[in-house]
Structure 1
Amino acid sequence: MTTPENNIPREALRAVATGLLLMSVFTMIWSSIANGGYQGQDHHLFLYLCIIIVLVFIVNSIKLFRLSSTLPLSSSDQQNQEKKRSGKWFAIIFGLEGISIPIAINIAIYMHHPELSIPLMALVVGLHFYPLAWVFRRKIDYFLATWSCIIAISAIYFSLHQTFSQGNILAMVGTGLALATIAYGIYMIYKGRKMAIKALHQQSAI
């Protein structure tokens, strides 16, 4: 028999499903930015690939939402406290990210470097993964944060030194950040399926 603390509550599975939907949106945003920078006959190839991946994310998200509806709400005080803690900090971090992006873009424009707008946006996105790693106690956030920040800082450097064209910079940033959100989505599918298997076992044990 499983204890309430070991059960998979409805909110946990829905959080993963919601995360998959967010990664779908962000993957489309960054792949569209990359597509705007690609040149040549096959410049839509990466965008088409991302669309297929996003469809996979959405299908898995729907499956997790459906399974979550069969699960009980969290009854453990520990689970409820953890939910409140992570929810509060996620809202704060997400809010700060939303405020920081337009500020960064306006600073770039004020400094007469509008070409830095997308790389600075990518830098803000990369930095926001670091506190998320602490909030959700996930190591993958550190890797994604570091990867995204390296891409963003490199793009800023290349832009300022005019090493590459702006089209190449857009392709670099968009592709790099899209790969980060894709990796995050794949991780969420993996975690979601593990939780789904455990949830099905807990249902069979009732």
Structure 2
Amino acid sequence: MSDRPAQGLRERKKAKTRALIQKEALRLFREQGYSATTVEQIAEAAEVAPSTVFRYFAAKEDLVFSDQLPPFAEALSAAPADLSPIRAVRVALREVTAAQTAEELAESVEREKLMFTVPELWAASLANVSGALRSMQEILARRAGRDLSDPEIRNITGAITGVIFAVWFDWTKDSEMDGAAEIDKALAHLEEGLRM
């Protein structure tokens, strides 16, 4: 049984509306391109008013972003304390990926593809990326009992993030790739010292 309180009807309805708007936006971005898609078209597809779209998403760019950091941060924080930073990240990523449906994983890949290929989204995603990097750094520092400013914490966080980004770039070009498995393999290579 979950420790989280059950959502009320209103909150569930809001979450459904938000998810529907985002799903229709991603579909339209895929079909017509990000720049060619208007908020009005997204609203029409989701059967809501444009003002409703803006109630849930402050800007068009926000329709692409999803907040997957909390589940990852929770999983990383909960990983066994005796694991190395890289092994803890691998365990956390496996847990988060295993919890996703095939549809959620496909939407995630689609979002990543948009973020890496649409210049205005790349610029907008920098705040998300730096926030995710900072969050991982904080968790790894806490797990190691180190200060956040410790250069070793910075270095390991940067190495992990760099490996993940390298695979993401390839994954956005090859949708047939098992990106989660490739990220895990790449992190295993990092864990082994990047031996060639």
TM-score calculated relative to the size of structure 2: 0.26
The structure where helix makes up a greater share of residues is 1
TM-score calculated relative to the size of structure 1: 0.25
Query: Which has the bigger relative contact order, CA under 8 A and spacing at least 6?
Result: 1
Tell me which structure has the larger Cα radius of gyration.
1
